[in-house]
Amino acid sequence: MMHGSSWWSYLRYDESQPQPRIDRDLLRRVLSYAAPYRAHLAIVLATIVVISSLSLAPPLLMRSLIDTAIPAGDVGLVTVLGLGMVAVPLVNGIAGVVQRWASASMGEGIIYDLRRELFGHLQRMSLGFFTNTKTGEVMSRLNSDVVGAQQAVTSTFVSLVANVVTVVATFAVMLGLEWRLTLLAVSILPLFIVASRQVGKRLRRVRRSQMEQNAEMSSIMQETLSVSGALLVKLFARAEDEDRRFARQAAAVRDLGIKQATIGRWFFMALGLVSALGTAVVFWVGAVMVIGGQLTVGTIVALSAYLASLYGPLAALANARVEFVTSLVSFERVFEVLDMPGDVQEAAHPVVLESVTGRIEFDDVWFSYGESTRSGLESVRRYGWGSMTPGDDAEATIAAEGWALADLSFTIEPGETVALVGPSGAGKTTLTYLVPRLYDATRGTVRLDGVDVRELSLTTTGRAVGVVTQEAYLFHDTIEANLRYARPDASMDDIRAAAQAANIDEFVMGLPDGYGTRVGERGYRLSGGEKQRIAIARVILKDPSILILDEATSHLDATSEALIQDALERVMEGRTSLVIAHRLSTILTADRIFVLDGGRLVEEGDHAALLARGGLYATLYRTQFRHADAEIRIDG
């Protein structure tokens, strides 16, 4: 039968839609993905030659039946020829199974290669890509488009309606020619049903496993390629580990796909044998009837020809696939993503620092989100439709959109704590994004320990910088797994020590499964304060030299807020800290306060000096926390 999704794709196909320009470069690139599977391709070609050659034998057997066996009345020869008619599809069926295994191995291998390459490329895209791209679009590229691309290499298209009409019409004509032999031919149809049920059970089990494994693979993609997940992977420099985890899951999907395809081929081989059995029975009985003078030779020849038209479509119905042009569009969509350059790229020869002391320098730094808005999937090049890359007027566009940060120059010494304050939209969060290279400065230079962050390896920046955001992101896994994400080789003692420092160990140990407790999707089983303390423990376990904190104590009860504040004070000890301050107590204990407004650093100093100056900080102090206690926050 025709695969449901393929048939639906066929019905939806609209020739009025723009077609891709099929050029040599596109075809060459498509074929390059089949190059690693030359051996499988050779097997496919060899089996095609075998099957095509053997398919020439039945007409010769029929000629011998008509010209020799029947006139001579040789029932034995008739039997031998009938057995030969069974032997041909048997050998063809075995060759077909081998062919299907080879083509499925090649096709599923191409899916695996494309998925892994695409996933690895997406892992290395900047945060701007994920903020400007719908997660569902990314999932579509990794799932539907990759499968469609595979079908362009390994599949062909067959019309379901044409085969159904052929079966009905053939049956009607055969009834008119000889109803007894027609009913005899139809009498073997229960064998088709038996074969379908037996193989169908196995296919259903395999298909169920496929759906489960695909769901797990989709879960990995959803978690790690969402904005929050991508941020977490980058901050903990775990892209390579995620590549390996995804590769294991994709390999399981690949193996199940090969198994399903091979079982399906055995099924069609069984159908072929049943068809051959029916043909042989009709030949034998028909020949006996001709010998007995009950049937003419012409009638049996006609019936034999119609038998091929009756049984052949039953196997052909399973070969439905999306047509070639649609599959090429799928390849094209995959290439669009693979060809997207990352706006945060690692240097050709990156500098690797074994340890980072924590000195941060901003040298005339300017940043605009205007560039990052062009990094989503809507900006990709489409074959034959031109490119959509920024032109010479890019700078004018950025200027028109405005700068998120402008003319920032400062130095933060190792171990120093700097509080960032300012009205909403002042650029505080954007400033912190540039330190771990979630974005790159549009102009100017950001340095860690005197080295331009663009020259540092992404692993160095990922390990050196720890970030606690307002919204803690947790994977749908155990508490231990979420903590161990920061340091996979950490011992249980290290994990518990970090949790104790974050004031969460006592709570975790009170749970029925302790550190083996699953937190649910995005940690929904935990309260905001519990999730935040786990995130703090994760950063403590990472032990970074530079700490970036967006104090997430708003909307929490007093107890959770006090526990988190105490944990934050512990984690800041001995580290260079950039704190987007929401609390007066944090501001008062900071070594320096940076006051931002409109993306610019307008004031700098300690609490007393800034109050005496009477500028923006003094205004914020008077209007937003004039009660001057630890519970009052600055709007940040």
- Tell which wins on pLDDT, 312 or 15: 312
DSSP letter string, 415-472: T-EEEEE-STTSSHHHHHHHTTTSS--SEEEEEETTEETTTB-HHHHHHHEEEE-SS-
Confidence band (pLDDT; 50, 70, 90) for 81? confident
**Mean pLDDT within 294-322:** 65
* Res. 392: pLDDT tops 50: no
Q: Strand runs (DSSP E) across 163-240, as ranges?
A: none
Q: Is there a contact between 258 and 104 (Cβ–Cβ < 8 Å)?
A: yes
The three-state secondary structure class of 596 is strand
CA–CA gap between residue 169 and residue 171 (Å, rounded): 5
Residue type, 448: L
Helix ranges (DSSP H) in 33-74: 38-54, 57-64, 70-72
Predicted local confidence at residue 634, as pLDDT: 43
Predicted local confidence at residue 74, as pLDDT: 83
Q: Tell me whether domains 21-338 and 360-379+390-624 share a fold.
A: no
Q: Is there a contact between 583 and 633 (Cβ–Cβ < 8 Å)?
A: yes
- Tell which wins on pLDDT, 334 or 59: 334
Residues whose CB falls within 8 Å of the CB of residue 429, separated by 6 or more in sequence, listed in order: 550, 580
**Mean pLDDT within 316-333:** 57
* Res. 410: pLDDT tops 90: yes
Predicted local confidence at residue 353, as pLDDT: 87
Residue keyed to tokens 């996933």: 119
What one-character DSSP code corresponds to residue 411?
A: E
The three-state secondary structure class of 489 is coil
Please, what is the average pLDDT of the chain? 76
- Tell which wins on pLDDT, 287 or 268: 287
CA–CA gap between residue 528 and residue 603 (Å, rounded): 33
Q: Is there a contact between 303 and 177 (Cβ–Cβ < 8 Å)?
A: yes
Q: Is there a contact between 293 and 75 (Cβ–Cβ < 8 Å)?
A: no
How far from 141 is each of 26, 123, 373, 583, CA to CA, in Å?
A: 18, 14, 20, 44
Predicted local confidence at residue 604, as pLDDT: 93
CA–CA gap between residue 511 and residue 525 (Å, rounded): 12
Phi then psi dihedrals of residue 12, to 5 deg: -80, -15
Helix ranges (DSSP H) in 558-603: 558-572, 584-589
* Res. 58: pLDDT tops 60: yes
How far from 253 is each of 111, 112, 143, 219, CA to CA, in Å?
A: 10, 8, 12, 13
- Tell which wins on pLDDT, 95 or 149: 95
* Res. 595: pLDDT tops 90: yes
Residues whose CB falls within 8 Å of the CB of residue 628, separated by 6 or more in sequence, listed in order: 584
**Mean pLDDT within 522-527:** 76
Sheet holding 465-468: strands in order across? Answer: 465-468, 546-550, 576-580, 417-421, 592-597, 600-605
If one counts every other C-beta atom within 10 angstroms of the C-beta of residue 51, the result is 17
CA 325-326-329 angle, to 5 degrees, is 90
Q: Rounded to 10 degrees, what is the CA torsion of 338, 340, 341, 343? A: -130
Residue keyed to tokens 């012409």: 298
CA–CA gap between residue 297 and residue 316 (Å, rounded): 29
Confidence band (pLDDT; 50, 70, 90) for 13? very low
Which tokens in the block code for residue 586?
């944090």
| Biggest CA-to-CA distance, the chain | 123
Phi then psi dihedrals of residue 417, to 5 deg: -110, 125
CA–CA gap between residue 7 and residue 52 (Å, rounded): 27
* Res. 38: pLDDT tops 70: yes
**Mean pLDDT within 231-237:** 85
For 362-373, letters b (16+ CB in 10 Å) and e give: beebbbbbbbbe
- Helix or strand run (H / E) with residue 375: none
CA–CA gap between residue 179 and residue 303 (Å, rounded): 11
CA–CA gap between residue 285 and residue 287 (Å, rounded): 5
Query: For 51-60, 249-258, 564-573, which range has the lowest pLDDT when averaged over its residues?
Result: 51-60
CA–CA gap between residue 86 and residue 73 (Å, rounded): 21
Residues whose CB falls within 8 Å of the CB of residue 525, separated by 6 or more in sequence, listed in order: 517, 518, 519
Q: Is there a contact between 492 and 533 (Cβ–Cβ < 8 Å)?
A: no
The three-state secondary structure class of 182 is helix
CA–CA gap between residue 373 and residue 53 (Å, rounded): 58
**Mean pLDDT within 569-587:** 82
pLDDT in tens, 487-501: 899 999 999 998 988
The three-state secondary structure class of 296 is coil
Residue keyed to tokens 């500098």: 351
**Mean pLDDT within 182-197:** 71
If one counts every other C-beta atom within 10 angstroms of the C-beta of residue 202, the result is 15
Residues whose CB falls within 8 Å of the CB of residue 451, separated by 6 or more in sequence, listed in order: 351, 353
**Mean pLDDT within 560-565:** 75
First CA to last CA across the chain, in angstroms? 61
Q: Is there a contact between 144 and 330 (Cβ–Cβ < 8 Å)?
A: yes
- Tell which wins on pLDDT, 441 or 4: 441
Residues whose CB falls within 8 Å of the CB of residue 470, separated by 6 or more in sequence, listed in order: 550, 551, 552, 554
* Res. 290: pLDDT tops 90: no
Domain locations along the chain: 21-338, 360-379+390-624
CA 14 to chain CA centroid, nearest Å: 27
What one-character DSSP code corresponds to residue 340?
A: P
Query: For 1-15, 234-248, 351-365, which range has the lowest pLDDT when averaged over its residues?
Result: 1-15
* Res. 370: pLDDT tops 80: no
**Mean pLDDT within 598-606:** 92
Q: What share of the chain is helix, strand, coil (3-state, %, to 5)?
A: 65, 10, 30
Predicted local confidence at residue 600, as pLDDT: 92
| 21-338 has CATH 1.20.1560 classification | yes
CA–CA gap between residue 482 and residue 475 (Å, rounded): 6
Which tokens in the block code for residue 346?
């690692």
- Tell which wins on pLDDT, 70 or 458: 458
Q: Is there a contact between 188 and 203 (Cβ–Cβ < 8 Å)?
A: no
Domain 360-379+390-624: CATH superfamily, name plus number = P-loop containing nucleotide triphosphate hydrolases (3.40.50.300)
CA–CA gap between residue 494 and residue 496 (Å, rounded): 6
Predicted local confidence at residue 9, as pLDDT: 35
**Mean pLDDT within 456-472:** 87
**Mean pLDDT within 100-113:** 84
